[in-house]
Amino acid sequence: MTAEQGAKRAAKPALVRVKGLHKRYVHRPVFSRSEFAVDALKNVDLELQPECLTALVGASGSGKSTLALCLAMLEKSDAGEIWFEEREISRCAAHELAWLRPKIQMVFQDSAGALNPFFSAAQIVAEPLEVQRRESGRKLRLRACELMEEVGLSADWADRSPLEFSGGQRQRLAIARAIALQPTLLILDESLSGLDLVTQAQILNLLADIRFARSLTCLLISHDLSLVGQVADHIAVMHQGTIVERGTRQRVFGNPQHTHTRELLAATPGLELAFRTAQPGMRT
């Protein structure tokens, strides 16, 4: 990000503001009178700057996906506020959220599970346009093919089943479906986990192009710091349901303040190697 771009974006209000968000899951085992509760989110504060890529990192079970589901209003928070485009959405009833649904889209980790195997690739991409009554008839298929081409998939594959695509191609298809409604916020929940490094880099480059072309704000959820360290503008570190550190990528990587951030950085093999190889004479 250039200084000029950074200044322009800093002048804009945050697209998403989260204040004191709390979410508790209560579980009662079958045939048991006792129940136990898990505080998945505890007093979470977060801001997503428009047109920026914010990475949410943390270990498994730290609450990253719960936060994403709350932001997309697919999960109701117990307390706190979520402001989207200057409107408080956390207490809205389902019917009041029709305007919001197209604006926030998600891409999930398990692309094979997230795409309907009985639909063709074109039907998968066209479905949100049909549901939101944006296109119909021949135009619908044409638009689906255009979106497939935009994410680097040939329109000749429009009639293929998603199971005929590789893992990386399925994620491209999921991204095509997610951008079909021209969202403002795209949430990628561990969407690159399980893909090899070459495919990860290709998808991140595609994401950079889409962000640039569509002025998109992205929240990238990942446990892989070496990955987010290459692309994120801002980083928020989650630990046991709380955001323990957040800031620009340079600040979080260059001067981590919280013990958990330092632990994550130390455990990341790519970074360890990068630090070693950056010092002449350390290679053996």
**Full DSSP string of 101-159:** GGGEEEE-S-HHHHS-TTS-HHHHHHHHHHHTTS--HHHHHHHHHHHHHHTT--GGGTT
C-beta of 155: minimal distance to another protein in Å?
18
- The letter for the amino acid at 24 is R
Q: Does 79 bind another protein (CB under 8 A)?
A: no
How far is it, in rounded angstroms, from Cα 112 to Cα 166? 9
C-beta of 6: minimal distance to another protein in Å?
8
Residues 221 and 65 sit within 8 Å (Cβ to Cβ): yes
Q: Does 51 bind another protein (CB under 8 A)?
A: yes
Return the residue of 50, 102, 167, 247 that touches another protein, per CB under 8 A.
167
3-state helix, strand, coil in the chain (%, to 5): 45, 25, 35
Task: Give the other-Cβ count within 10 Å of 120's Cβ.
Answer: 18
Query: Which of 58, 162 has the CB closer to another protein?
Result: 58
C-beta of 23: minimal distance to another protein in Å?
20
Q: What is the chain's Cα-based Rg?
A: 20
Q: In 3D, which of 64, 62, 24, 25 has the Cα closest to residue 46?
A: 64
**Full DSSP string of 10-32:** HHSPPSEEEEEEEEEEEE--TT-
Query: Which of 223, 246 has the CB closer to another protein?
Result: 223
C-beta of 58: minimal distance to another protein in Å?
8
Q: Does 284 bind another protein (CB under 8 A)?
A: yes
Return the residue of 44, 151, 218, 231 that touches another protein, per CB under 8 A.
231
Give the x/- contact pattern for another protein in 239-278, rule: CB under 8 A.
----------xx--xx--------xx-xxxxxxxxx-xxx
Binding part of the chain for another protein, among 36-44, 77-85, 126-134, 230-238 by CB under 8 A, reads 230-238
According to CB under 8 A, which residues from 178 to 197 bind another protein?
193-197
Which residues in this chain contact another protein in the complex, by CB under 8 A? Answer: 1-2, 5, 51, 58-61, 166-168, 193-202, 204-205, 208-209, 211-212, 223-227, 229-233, 249-250, 253-254, 263-264, 266-274, 276-278, 283-284
